[in-house]
């Protein structure tokens, strides 16, 4: 009996170590995205709030595993275009938006809504192809939203609302179109 207990403890330890390692990878990814946000965007108190929310969410979902982990990392990938789009827009048009903290421009809000709608569409469509669509979608939407807010949230509340509305609209559209193709 002692050998089986020892083997069980080793297996359990390896299992927990894998989950903790995955959570640490999630935190490292959040730190990397935060450093990129500092380099690309104007930082505010909201930036730090979103960055810590992203780190906590990624660590929790990565530790949890399964469809939540798959969705969390897919959501970060879907949120990257939303994260980068405002910076690219201003680099190619004006160089930098100095008044983001005062008033976000209409074009920047449109860029946030457009890219987050596409990200939401991708998340909704990818969720329908996963073995556990609800868990995948929950993880993906949460991290895509936080990743996008890390970039677009610096444009103010309007940019954050644009990310939220775009992800909701895109996600619903992705689920509806995937449901129709599944029935056809």
Mean predicted confidence (pLDDT) in 58-68? 92
The predicted structure's pLDDT at residue 41:
74
Q: What angle do CA 39, 50, 119 make, to 5 degrees?
A: 85
User: For 10-32, what is each residue's pLDDT tens digit?
Assistant: 888 888 898 899 999 999 999 99
- How confident is the prediction for the chain on average, in pLDDT? 79
What mean pLDDT comes out for the span 4-8?
A: 84
Which tens digits make up the pLDDT trace of 106-155?
777 777 777 877 777 777 777 778 888 888 888 888 898 888 888 766 55
pLDDT over threshold 80, residue 86: no
Q: Using H for helix, E for strand and C for coil, what is the string for the chain?
A: CHHHHHHHHHHHHHHHHHHHHHHHHHHHHHHHHHHHHHHHCCCCHHHHHHHHHHHHHHHHHHHHCHHHHHHHHHHHHHHHHHHHHHHHHHHHHCCCCCCCCCCCCHHHHHHHHHHHHHHHHHHHHHHHHCCCHHHHHHHHHHHHHHHHHHHHHHHCHHHHHHHHHHHHHHHHHHHHHHHHHHHC
Is residue 47 scored above 70 in pLDDT?
Answer: yes
Q: For position 154, what pLDDT does the model report?
A: 56
């Amino acid at each position: 009996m002692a050998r089986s207990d020892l083997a069980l403890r080793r297996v359990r330890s390896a299992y927990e170590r894998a989950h903790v390692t995955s959570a640490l990878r999630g935190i490292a990814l959040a730190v990397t995205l935060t450093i990129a946000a500092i380099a690309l965007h104007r930082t505010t108190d909201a930036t730090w709030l979103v960055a810590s929310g992203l780190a906590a969410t990624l660590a929790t979902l990565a530790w949890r595993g399964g469809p939540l982990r798959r969705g969390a990392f897919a959501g970060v990938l879907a949120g990257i275009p939303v994260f980068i789009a405002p910076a690219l827009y201003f680099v190619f048009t004006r160089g930098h938006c100095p008044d983001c903290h005062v008033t976000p421009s209409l074009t920047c809000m449109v860029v946030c809504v457009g890219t987050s709608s596409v990200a939401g569409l991708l998340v909704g469509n990818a969720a329908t192809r996963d073995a556990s669509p609800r868990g995948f979608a929950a993880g993906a939407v949460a991290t895509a939203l936080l990743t996008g807010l890390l970039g677009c949230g610096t444009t103010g509340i309007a940019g954050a609302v644009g990310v939220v509305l775009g992800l909701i609209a895109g996600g619903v559209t992705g689920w509806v179109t995937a449901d129709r193709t599944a029935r056809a």
